[in-house]
Every structure is written in structure tokens, then in C-alpha cells.
Amino acid sequence: MNQATTPRQLDTRGLMCPEPVMLLHNAVRDIAAGDLLEVLATDPSTQRDIPRFCSFLGHELLEQNEQDGLFRYLIRKQG
């Protein structure tokens, strides 16, 4: 299995629910199992939606943090 060590980035800043999760769903489809995806968002609802998305689909949420209204998530695709 070839795992990317540098995360691919998905920038959803300025987008509101449900767009960040819809784009996340598409981005996850485009990466290989085990690869990393970093998501940047400004919508506070992503604090609820992205962990649920990962849990429901079995992806690993490695990091979740917020600084000055910017939410950052690091996800490893299941596989």
C-alpha cells in the first residue's frame, strides 16, 4: 500500500453547510486508501459534520483543531 506522507489539501474556507462535507466526500474518493487529506474550513458546523462523516464511513480523524476561526482536520482514508 502506498501511503502519502504529505496530505492533500481541501480548502473549504468561506463555504457553508453542506458544501464542505460534499466536497470532502468527493476528495476522499480521489485519494488512495491510507492517504492523508487536510481539510480547512471556516464553517463551525464542520466540528460536528466532519467527525460524523469520518465515523460513519470508517475514515480515521487524526487531528481536529481550531485557531482564530479556522478549523483544520487531518483525515486518513480507510483501506
Catalytic (active-site) positions: 17
- Written as nine digits, the cell of 12 is 473549504
Distance CA 30, CA 52 (A): 20
Distance CA 71, CA 56 (A): 20
Query: What residue type is 63 in one-letter code?
Result: E
Distance CA 40, CA 9 (A): 8
